[in-house]
Amino acid sequence: MTTKYTTDHEYIRIEGATGTVGITLFAQEQLGDIVFVELPGIGKVLNKGDEAAVVESVKAASEIYAPVSGTVTEINTALNSEPGLVNQDPHSAGWMFKIQLSNPSEPRRSAG
Amino acid sequence: MSMNTQGRPTGTTNVNPSTSSGAALLPDEPLLFEIGDTEHSGVDLPDVTLKADRLGGFRRKMPLDLAGLTEPEAMRHYVRLSRLNYSIDSGMYPLGSCTMKHNPRLNEKMARLPGFADIHPLQPISTVQGALMLMEQLAHWLMTLTNTAAVALSPKAGAHGELLGMMAIKAAQAARGQAHRKIVLVPESAHGTNPATAAFLGYSVRAIPARADGTVDAEAVRNALSDDVAAIMLTNPNTCGLFETQVIDIAQAVHDAGAFFYCDGANFNAIMGVVRPGDLGIDAMHINLHKTFSTPHGGGGPGAGPVVLSAALAPFAPVPFVRRSEGGLELVEHGEGQALGRITAFQGQMGMYVRALTYMLSHGGDGLAQAAKDAVLNANYIKARLQSVFSVPYPQYPCMHEALFDDSFLDQTGVSTLDFAKALIDKGFHPMTMYFPLVVHGAMLVEPTESESKQTLDQFCEIMLELAMDAKAGNKQNFVSAPINAPRRRMDETRAARSPILKWEREDDASEAAQ
Amino acid sequence: MRYLPHSDAERADMLAAIGAQSIEALFSVVPAAAMRSSGLDLPRHSPEFLVEAHMRGLASQNHAAGDGPFFVGAGAYRHHVPATVDHLIQRSEWLTAYTPYQPEISQGTLQMLFEFQTQVAKLTGMDVANASLYDGSTGTAEAVLMARRLTRRNKVLLSGGLHPHYRDVVCGYLKDDADLVCLDASPEGQGDILDRIDDQTAAIVVQTPDFYGHLRNIETAAAVAHAKGALLIVVVTEIVSLGLLEAPGAYGADIVVAEGQSIGNALNFGGPYLGLMATRQQFVRQMPGRVCGETVDADGNRGFVLTLSTREQHIRREKATSNICTNSGLCALAFSIHLGLLGEAGLVKLARLNHERACALADALGTVKNVELLNATFFNEMTIRLPVAAEPVVEQLAGRGILAGVPVSRLEPGRPELENLLVLAATEPNDRCKHC
């Protein structure tokens, strides 16, 4: 298991061919209270850098970009009713979506 | 002497030392649905019975459940609610880019004449010649003030006007065989509506950086122009309160490159009667009648956003418009030639046209120019009085009708721009515009308008200086807990957005829904 | 000048504080070529009594609805507005307040908007409503865009019963858009839309009562649309009708758009009016326009704020749901006060009265030779076919002080099959004795 960080303050935790994506502790502090998370649909095919999700605070909306290419396999539906999880526990309970990597070697080259 | 021991104390020595909030005159008011019910009504109407209806079986079965109030109850409910509002009649709004000026009551009186208020938009044209004359006269004033060839009156508000202006540009580019132009240049300091409008019409937005002095760089515009650029959207005076010194050069470069110049007219109040935007080379500009021409804001509308158009764009004006013909005035309601279609039902904001024309006639051309000059004088006066303490990001030039400060004077105080603005509420003033324009850190944009007397400006400046001293003295608590004298303390906006409650529900219904 | 507080002496003092020689010096950055040294060719300032005389002169050249028999409707309706409404909306704290972005000192406007949203939700039978849009026509265009975002489909069908101006506005917003299908005018109230719905359809737009006055079966429309995954947008131009007619929400509407002018607002030659929009709870984040929500303040007291503002242009900029940044606040206030005065009891009476007047008008028209009433159903408006073109007849009657209705040809020119049609409305001021 390795965790990589993007320059846009997203993380991806890679286990085998699957990555779990969320935003960093620093990012949630900068955004302030998260009030809504718009998650991608399961099965959505994303290219690295595509807009994958949106997090909204009271005064701002920020896009979350796909850190790798792949297919969305799971989303954290708990965020629908409790978006504050992103603030409280961004690296664990506040994860956003899981993605099946289409090219497992991709993140090693560029997302470090 | 005889001593009346029943006398009342007249001093304040026994009074609790906390500040009076005026709460006795500002009682909390329950919701309409908590005081009214479905039986009460404040309107007497004949009670007719329908022998046989023609409703085809679509009669209502779902309960309406609308609360009603008798007239005295309604009067009290809405008067009490009103007292929880700040308003221009009760105090100054130093709101940059909003032009909160005095709203003359003659405007209101005229708008209520039955000859204006009680006429239908689809009455025969022969029965509304006075209304068309009014539209023609308003158009004449707007075209004269801007030196432009045409005006589309119908947009419902500034953003709507902006949309129309850009639609006209898009249509004009298409008519020239230039539909491939897909880029619109927008300075970083622009109002949020500008990129929103451009994107809505399928344009991609390219940002133009500002120069160190706060104005747009003609050179940067020239470099960004190409055969793919449809238009530039520029606010002048700009959102930093500065006149765009190179605006004529920019217009020339834009036209040379085959693009159009859309001017955001939000700040026209600074230059009306003094500078004609047509002389600067603009092709389209919306005019917010609710800012520049004193129609009331009404707690958030209705506005009105007529758009003036250059000769090049005039053929693309939307319907309807007024035209003079032999038999009098006619209303052209259907597209001819290149005209755009319709952007609203009917004729637009007639009620606002009446108010705006009343204001124009009251001021006259001379008074409008004086109003613009006084607006600029007032902003520069505030800037002069505050600049020793407040930091001015662009000090090189005189400002126009609004003075821009940043938050560097609050460094190390622990007080944010927002806290500072909320403390202003406790001193009896509406906050200034905050965090806009985005190009300045912790921006505070102050627009006094021409309506404020020197006395009010002095009072405002003294309070601003006093608050700044208080912040610098380390009294952070006075700011982070502000306001304490308003009808409400700071609101929990996170809670409002996380689980939105957007309507009233009976407690039993609400708990049912929660389950 | 009565609106400008400064004396020349005060101006001089202020210039001294600024360190400028003259006000003109503050304009030194304006290119000389553009600076007006002399005045514009416009009249000089004028005393109040002369301005008033000028405006009265213009007003007197219009024929007001109250001046004689009046049957004009077609999207704007003459109703009596209680004196209380106009008195209250002219209070300084309502009339001259800014948009409630500072909730601590705007609770009046915010609570009113919360009450307004509740009223609109109840009237339409929907979960949530916004704090108003410009008017019904632009609201319809916004609803179409919203449906496209929600379904991620593009095709939109506009019923032939939709108000022609509304259709034109939607076409104007979606210019050059091949996926927009406008069905032919359907003055007989015939079904025209259901067999055109396919699995590419984002939404269908159906008006009821429709432009010609017919009541449309939106329950069936909802079922057919939903079966194909499309949304049903219901348009209501006469909001008083919902006092008597079933709520669109009860029939399965997904978005309801209405013109709210009929309650609280004058005819005003077409504006300012009031766009109402309501939808299902799950669509709220795609709904355009301002929304007010309940919360608490730092002391735990109930209060109201504008919320979900990340949908709006000043935050999302080019990704906003709409470029709109104004609602129709004062018109919403007038609506809310009038409806608060009516209450359920009053609104039902008012709606019944309107329908009764319209029934009387229909009966009276039935006795006129060579006039054919097209409606089997109606609320307070109907269409008749005259033996001759309607427009000259209306002009002729106007000359006699009677405003007889709207010739369909005014909105649909160049359509011979519609030339003889006249749309007439009867509202509560139409006293029975003044009919025909």
Q: Please write the tens of the pLDDT for every residue from B148-170.
A: 999 999 999 998 999 999 999 99
Asked whether the beta carbons of residue B78 and residue C39 sit closer than 8 angstroms, the reply is no
When pLDDT is cut at 50, 70 and 90, the band that residue B178 belongs to is: very high
Contacting residues of B for A36, CB less than 8 Å apart: 497-498
Q: Does residue B88 have a pLDDT over 90?
A: yes
Could you say which of C246, C307, C339 has the minimum Cβ distance to residue B60? C246
Does A98 map to a domain? yes
Q: What is the pLDDT of residue B28?
A: 84
pLDDT score for A110: 44
Contacts of B6 (CB under 8 A, 6+ apart): none
* CA gap B478, B470 in Å, rounded: 8
Subunit contact C4:B367, Cβ cutoff 8 A: yes
pLDDT computed for residue A106 by the predictor: 66
Note whether C215 contacts B87, CB cutoff 8 Å.
Answer: no
Query: How distant is the Cα of B505 from the closest Cα of chain C, in angstroms?
Result: 8
**Best mutation target, C24, C61, C62, to test chain B (most B CBs within 10 A):** C62
Residue in B494, B499, B501 to test binding to A, most A beta-carbons within 10 Å = B494
The count of residues in chain A is 112
Q: What is the CATH number of the domain that holds A23?
A: 2.40.50.100
Instruction: Indicate yes or no: CB of C13 within 8 angstroms of CB of B366.
Output: no
B278-282, B322-326, B377-381: which range is least confident on average?
A: B322-326
For strand B204-208 and strand B183-187, is the pairing parallel, antiparallel, or unpaired? parallel
**pLDDT confidence tier of residue A112, bands split at 50, 70 and 90:** very low
Cβ(C42)–Cβ(B143) under 8 Å? no
Residue C250: phi, psi to the nearest 5? -70, -25
Cα-Cα-Cα-Cα torsion C259, C260, C263, C268, nearest 10 degrees, comes to -70
- So what's the pLDDT on residue A111? 42
Structure tokens at C337: 């006060």
- The pLDDT tens digits of the residues spanning B214-253 come to 999 999 999 999 999 999 999 999 999 999 999 999 999 9
Please report which confidence band the pLDDT of residue B423 belongs to, taking 50, 70 and 90 as the band edges: very high
Residue A111 inside a domain? The answer is: no
Answer yes or no: do C317 and B196 touch at CB < 8 A: yes
pLDDT value for C141: 94
Q: Measuring CA to CA, which residue among B397, B139, B363 is closest to residue B269?
A: B363
Q: Of all residues in chain B, what percent are helix, strand and coil, respectively (each to 5)?
A: 40, 15, 50
Please report the DSSP string for C291-331 in residue order: -EEEEEBTTS-EEEEE--GGGSHHHHGGG-S-S-----HHH
Write down the pLDDT at residue B11. Answer: 54
- Please name the residue ranges forming H helices in C60-100: 83-89, 92-95
> So what's the pLDDT on residue B506?
86
Contact pairs from chain B to chain C, CB under 8 Å: 707
- C106: which DSSP letter? B
User: Which residues, in sequence order, are CB contacts of C431 under 8 Å at separation 6+?
Assistant: none
**Percentage above 90 pLDDT, chain A:** 58
* CATH fold of B373-487: Aspartate Aminotransferase, domain 1 (3.90.1150)
Q: How far is the first Cα of chain C from the last one, in angstroms, to the nearest whole number? A: 52
* Chain C: closest CA distance from residue A60 (Å): 6
Whether A56 has its CB under 8 Å from any CB of chain C: the answer is yes
Quickly count helices (H) and strands (E) in chain C. Answer: 12, 13
- State the virtual CA torsion across A85, A87, A92, A97 in degrees, nearest 10: 70
Query: In Å, how far is A52's CA from the nearest CA of chain B?
Result: 20
Domain for residue A59, yes or no?
yes
Put simply, the answer to whether B498 touches A84 (Cβ < 8 Å) is yes
Q: How far is B330 from chain A, CA to nearest CA, in Å?
A: 48
**Among candidate residues C40, C41, C64, C15, the one with its CA nearest the CA of residue C403:** C64
In terms of Cα–Cα distance, which of B445, B448, B440 is closest to B408?
B440
Q: Are the C-beta atoms of residues C195 and C159 closer than 8 Å to each other?
A: no
Is the reported ipTM for this assembly greater than 0.90?
Answer: yes
Domain chopping of chain B, boundaries: 107-360, 373-487
Distance in Å, alpha carbon of B98 to nearest chain C alpha carbon = 9
Query: In B, residues 441-470, which contact C (CB 8 Å cutoff)?
Result: 450-454
* Chain B contact present for C114, CB below 8 A: yes
Neighboring chains of A (3 or more beta-carbon pairs < 8 A): B, C
Domains for chain C: give ranges and CATH numbers.
65-81+344-434 (3.90.1150.10), 83-337 (3.40.640.10)
The strand pair at C302-306 and A45-46 is best described as unpaired
Once rounded to an integer, what is the mean pLDDT over residues B457-479?
A: 97
- Do the Cβ atoms of B497 and A56 come within 8 Å? yes
CB C380 within 8 A of CB C359: no
Name the residue range of residue A71's domain.
2-103
Q: Give B128-165 as a 3 state SS string.
A: EHHHHHHHHHHHHHHHHHHCCCEEECCCCCHHHHHHHH
The C-alpha of C200 sits at a distance from chain A's nearest C-alpha, in angstroms, of 19
* Cα B380 from Cα B18, distance rounded (Å): 37
d(CA B340, CA B342): 7
Residue B12 pLDDT greater than 60, yes or no:
no
- Per-residue pLDDT of B35-80, as tens digits, reads 999 999 999 999 998 888 999 999 999 999 999 999 999 999 999 9
Report whether B300 contacts C290 (CB < 8 A).
Answer: yes
pLDDT value of position A59: 74
pLDDT 10s digits, B328-365: 899 999 987 677 889 999 999 999 999 999 999 999 99
| Contact: B122, C6; criterion CB under 8 Å | no
Domain B107-360 in CATH 3.40.640.10? The answer is yes
Distance (Å) from the alpha carbon of B433 to chain A's nearest alpha carbon: 15
Both tokens of C257, joined, read 């758009």
Q: Which chains touch C (3 or more CB pairs under 8 A)?
A: A, B
Rounded to 5 degrees, what are φ and ψ at C201? -80, 125
CA Rg value for chain A: 13
- The number of folded domains in chain A is 1
Residue whose tokens read 């935790």: A13
pLDDT < 70 stretches in chain C: 176, 311-326, 432-436
Residue from A28, A54, A58, A81 whose CB has the most chain B CBs within 10 Å, to mutate: A58
Report percent pLDDT > 70 for chain B. 94
Alpha-carbon distance of A83 to B459, in angstroms, equals 45
Residues in chain C within 8 Å Cβ distance of B192: 313-317, 320, 325
